[in-house]
Every structure is written in structure tokens, then in C-alpha cells.
Amino acid sequence: MKYKFLAIFLLISMILSANSIFSYYGMANQYLGNDLYSAGMSDAGENDLFRINTSYSNPAILTSSNKVIFSTATSFGKQNYYDDNGNSFKDDGFYLPYFTASFPVLNHRFGLQYALLYSGNLDTYVSGVFTSEDEEDFSYEVNNSIISNIFKVDLSYALKNRFVNFGIAGNYYLGHRIQYWEYDFENSTLLDSEYEKEELCKNIGYTLGLSKRLKAISFGLSYSSKVKLKGDVDYKYGFLDDPQAVEEAVYLLEVPAKISAGFTWKFTETFKLHSNFYYQMWSDTDSYDKDTATFATGLSYDPLSGYGKWYESIPLRAGFSFRELPFEINNEPINEFKGSLGFSAPLKSANKRIDFGVSYITRGDKELHGFSEDSLMFSIGVTGFDIFSKKTKRIAPRDIPQADF
């Protein structure tokens, strides 16, 4: 196949997806590539250098660790959709948001990250009856679905120094969008219809980042370039007789340039305040006409090890975020509100833990847009499992001192 690597992600995305009622207007779901610790605060804490931070969307954050670190997570939950006629239905969601790895060499850091950036998937099914001019009733069924995702794979480098930490990453983007439509009549004398349009695309970009820790405050700043994803369009089923059934080498999807900035304030030994701002320049693309911003803030509690009762040793966090989607419906903006909670279960080995998170998200307004949605998503992830290092075996002969009597 021409795009073997892309086909693997395409297969995964059909099974693991994040859905939205707004998918026919654009990719409503946005992910910032942050780890589950940060996701437990609605994506605040991206630039926290007071912990081993595996949020590598800013490559300069690689400097937060001096060991080989791995981190990954999975998210699952329910979406609820509502329309202005009082109808509602539920949908399932399950996806892999990220995988990261960091490898230190002296003051240099090398990193790898896979992340789901955008998604918009929806499968709708309706049935009905229409009456012909001869007043004859015909039953029909319509299936309309869309699967659209953009993934990103980063190879990153960061330099740790006493002035400011610097990071750079090469971004490899993979995108696909599949639109399927089927019209099925119960009466066999009528012609059924079936169409599918498949778009596969890819391209490369870059990210630059800075990070710095000053006593009780750490901060970071990063910029990601705009990227046009180039690929092929394949028309199937009803388009098979079309001589233009395959369009090659066309620009299909776009990723906007993004600026992110934020800080963490460690105002006590155990509490930290986080704030982050993300700005995406969609107006510079052919996809949408307006730029969008995301604001996130959160509070985290990281207890001192070995103090207090067991429930006082559990790291906790909470956060809130606001985002405006890049597209409108009925000339009305679509806003997203998210609240998140998270906690960690530290393991016996240092820097190893299991993270848990839950997020509640609302998007849209039935009165303004004709429909709305909310979702409750749960996440679980692991951090710190180093598969390369082994525990030192202390089996060499030793002299045992003799007691004096």
C-alpha cells in the first residue's frame, strides 16, 4: 500500500474513536497532547517543571526528567446528544490520547510522542416513509456516517541549561476523513444508493519551545507551525464509473499554527496553581475564518512522601477550561466548557504511578444551534515504567564484620 503507516492509524481510529454531534461541521474534539496529570486539570499544567512532566507538546518540557520515562493513557465514556425537538440519544467513545517517551543524555533530552489532535466521528441512522405522486407509500432507511481524525507523531530534542531550556520537534501529521452515505428502500423495485468518499493525507511541520523554572514559578512558551496535509481522494461505490474516481496529490486537511503559553506557581510545599492559554490561527487556513483560544486553569495537591495517613498521600487535582470551536452554526459561535478531576496512585518504585481522571464536557446550545451535547469521559494511564533499566543485583562477596566481645 502507498500509505502503510497511515492505514494502520486509519484501522485503529475506526475502532477507537471520539464522537461528536457536530462532526458534520468539523472536527469538534480537540486534544492538546498533554499527559493525564494535566488532563485531570482540563489541560492546565502543561508547563509544570516541579514534577516529571510528560506533556511534550512543548518539547522544552523534556527537561523535567533526567531518567528514561514512558507514559500513556486510554479514555472511554459516554456522549449524550440533544436536539431542539426534545429528542436525545447516547453514544460510546473510546480512544488512545497519547504515548510519550523521554531519553536523557547528559544535558540533552530526546523524546517521542504520539498524540490524537482532532477528531469528529458520527454514525446516524434514520428510517421513514414517503408518499409518491401516485399516493403510494415507500419505506426507506438512511445511514450517514463520518470518520475524521488527525494524528501527530513527534521526534523531539531539548537542551537543559541554567538560562532557559530550549526544545525543538519535528511533527509528522497523519489525517483521514471518510464520509459514507447509504439509501436503502424496502421496495426492491426502487434503486438503492451507496456512496463513500475517503481522504488520506500527511505532511510534516515543526514546533519550537522554551521553558524555565524560577524558585516557586515555572513557565513555558511554544509555537507550532501551520501544516497543509496532502494526499489522495478515493471515491467508492456509486462513483466507480467516474473517470475521476481517484484524485491524487491534493491538499485535504489543515492544522493551524498554534501558540501556547502558561505557568505553574508552587505556593506551598504541596499545592500548585496552574494556568494555560492556547491560541490557534484558523483564519490563516482555508478551513475556517476565525482564530480560536482555549483557557485552562487548575489546582493540584502533591503530598510529601512518608507523611500523614494513607488518604493524605494521594495526589489530587482539579481544573476547568473554556474553548470556542472554529466553526459556527446559524451564525452563532459554539462554546465548549470542561471540568476535570484527577488523582494518582503512586507505586513502590520512584517516579512510577497510575493516573486516573474524569472529565465532564458540554458543547453547543439547543436553542441557538438546533442541538447540543455533553459527555462524561474516564481516563486511566501509567507513567514511569522504564523497560531498559534493571535493578542492580548486589551479589558480590562481602566481608561481614565480626562483633567485639
Check residue 248 and give its pLDDT: 61
Helix (H) or strand (E) holding 359: strand 353-363
Confidence of residue 141 (pLDDT cuts 50, 70, 90): confident
pLDDT tens for each residue of 32-56: 989 999 999 999 999 999 999 999 9
Q: Strand pairing partners for 374? A: 80, 362
With 70 as the cut, is the pLDDT of residue 20 above it?
Answer: yes
Global pTM reads 0.85
User: Diameter of the chain by CA atoms?
Assistant: 116
Per the CB < 8 A criterion, the answer to whether 384 and 71 are in contact is: yes
- 254/309 Cα distance (integer angstroms): 51
Check residue 19 and give its pLDDT: 84
With 50 as the cut, is the pLDDT of residue 10 above it?
Answer: no
Distances (CA, A) of 320 to 249, 332, 338, 372: 41, 23, 6, 19
With 70 as the cut, is the pLDDT of residue 306 above it?
Answer: no
Higher pLDDT, 63 or 304: 63
Confidence of residue 14 (pLDDT cuts 50, 70, 90): very low
Confidence of residue 384 (pLDDT cuts 50, 70, 90): confident
With 80 as the cut, is the pLDDT of residue 7 above it?
Answer: no
Lowest mean pLDDT among 126-140, 222-236, 345-359: 126-140
Check residue 239 and give its pLDDT: 53
Higher pLDDT, 182 or 6: 182
Per the CB < 8 A criterion, the answer to whether 73 and 383 are in contact is: no
Check residue 212 and give its pLDDT: 96
Look up residue 17 and give its DSSP letter: B
Helix (H) or strand (E) holding 92: strand 88-95
C-alpha atoms less than 13 angstroms from C-alpha of 128 in its C-beta half-sphere:
7
With 50 as the cut, is the pLDDT of residue 13 above it?
Answer: no
Please state, for a pLDDT cut of 90, what percent of the chain lies above it: 55
pLDDT tens for each residue of 109-132: 999 999 999 998 888 877 777 666
With 90 as the cut, is the pLDDT of residue 135 above it?
Answer: no
Confidence of residue 189 (pLDDT cuts 50, 70, 90): low
Distances (CA, A) of 190 to 127, 138, 196, 211: 16, 9, 20, 65
Check residue 95 and give its pLDDT: 86
Check residue 220 and give its pLDDT: 96
Check residue 295 and give its pLDDT: 97
Mean pLDDT rounded to a whole number for the chain: 85
- 243/228 Cα distance (integer angstroms): 26
With 50 as the cut, is the pLDDT of residue 6 above it?
Answer: no
Helix (H) or strand (E) holding 10: helix 4-15
